[in-house]
Chain A
Amino acid sequence: MFNDQADEDLMVMYQKGEVRAFEVLLSRHRKPVFNFILRFVGDRETAEDLLQEAFMRVIKGAEAYKRQAKFTTWLYTIARNLCVDQTRRRKHRKHASLDAPMDSSEESGTLMDVIPGNEMASDRKSVNKQLHEQMQRAIGALSEDQREVFLMREFLDMPFKQIADVVGVPENTVKSRMRYALEKLRLELDEYKDLAKVAP
């Protein structure tokens, strides 16, 4: 019964005291929100904390929720704001990131390259893994504005209009940020273009 309901209907049911409705919402959105946060902040432990905090805010704000608002827009606005706050805090602390270059020169490697790992295998799985890691690194290198737009568009399949609502900027600005993000990714991953072509 609850699984067929739209998010907004479930939220209204939860407002009337139906806990099962919230349970369905949680099971439906927990995983995509977690992966969005994880790709945004790049840290699993932080992502777990932020995921918990995001749904706590949904619970606390449920009473004020209006049926007219799209639930995912509201949910990802909360998640995005938490991520932005977190990255700003992290900038102040100046923690060293595993993905960050060790020195300012572009040729230098990353911490991830130094940490001993499996030797690059010649099989497709290894190629894919390497590509994914490089892609993750390139996404992490995007500016905050471009990263959030890119993640919502390419990983959550959100329309530009909804992204604009979540981020709080005009739709054209979102499209512009998306264009710059793609261009930057293309340049960052230029050396892997041959690998990308053979990847499934």
Chain B
Amino acid sequence: MADEAPDDPQVKALRAVWLAMRDNDEDPPDSGVSALMAAARSQAMEMAPAPWWKRMFDQLRRPPVLALASLLVLIGGAVLLTKHDAIEKAPTSAPVQEKELPHSNLDIGGAPPPVAPATVSPSVVPETGATKDKQQLSPPPVHRHPTEHTSGGKGIAGPTGSVAPTSTPRTEAAFETDSTGVAPRADAKKAAALPPSRVLVDQLAGQARRAAQRGDCENAKAIATRIAGQDATYYRDHVAGDLSGCVQAPAAADKAAADKAR
């Protein structure tokens, strides 16, 4: 009590008086105790920790958790919609891919046929008068089948510089575009109208022609054998002639090598 003048004898005497007064402190009445305890009990029940499931439920009702749940639902919905779209798109390309699979092992020797965007576009563009004129101006292919043509022709450079075939038969173009997943509706309908065995034979013929173009005569002959097994008439009418070009290719290569040596 340094701040309270402890040396003052009068203050000391007075302090003795109020210290004695402390001994005479009164007791408060007990009347209010029961009311206080009742209030304390009800408050204690409110404050008591809730069971774990209630606490968890309260946690889940908090705004951040609700926001996270909403976000998850949105992401899940987007994923489902994306998958649904992919499933809806699948039937247009899947049958062709499935049909190509059984004999795709025949193309093992060579690289897959280059499918430049320029080769796809002509088949997508509907046949107009201008395109008909172009087809008339270009060298006439050896047509053995209304939907087929010989694939020995050289391509012409397109406006983008890419090499495009001079004339792309509609059926083959349809198959080529099908393999890229972009099939024109008219060609797809036409292909769908053909019997399955014919579609397969057409497809095989296309592959044989491409193999012949690459100079992969082994594969071309193997495919041709398979075509002959499937449809001998078709092979004789439409495919046999194309294979003669394949036989000639190595001879031409030998001639070129001999010229170089000279």
List residues of chain A with CB under 8 Å of any chain B CB: 14-19, 22-23, 26, 30-32, 34-35, 38, 44, 47-48, 51-52, 55-56, 59-60, 62-63, 128, 131-132, 135-136, 139, 154-155, 160, 175, 178-179, 182, 185-186, 189-190, 193, 196-197, 199-200
Contacts and interface: CB of A to CB of B under 8 A. Distances in A.
Nearest to B32: A52
Contacts, number: 112
B261 interface: no
Contact of A196 (B16, B29, B43, B48): B16
A60 B18 contact: no
A32 B23 CA distance: 11
B253 to A, nearest CB: 94
Contact of A32 (B15, B25, B35, B44): B25
A94 to B, nearest CB: 27
Nearest to B48: A17
Given A22-B40, A56-B36, A62-B47, A185 B21 contact: no
Interface residues of B, number: 38
A196 B46 contact: no
Which one of B5, B14, B26, B39 has the greatest number of beta carbons of chain A within 10 Å?
A: B14
Q: Per DSSP, are chain B's interface residues mostly helix, strand or loop, or mixed?
A: helix
Nearest to B3: A175
Contact of A17 (B22, B28, B33, B45): B45
B256 interface: no
A14 B5 CA distance: 43
B44 A18 contact: yes
Interface in B179-230: none
B32 A154 contact: no
Nearest to A129: B24
B3 A179 contact: yes
Contacts of B8: 186
A16 B49 contact: yes
A193 B10 CA distance: 7
Contact of B20 (A16, A56, A132): A132
A131 B18 CA distance: 9
Given A26-B36, A34-B26, A154-B15, A132 B44 contact: no
Nearest to B9: A197
Contacts of A199: 13, 16-17, 20
Contacts of B22: 155
A30 B26 CA distance: 11
B27 interface: yes
Contacts of A175: 3
A48 B48 contact: no
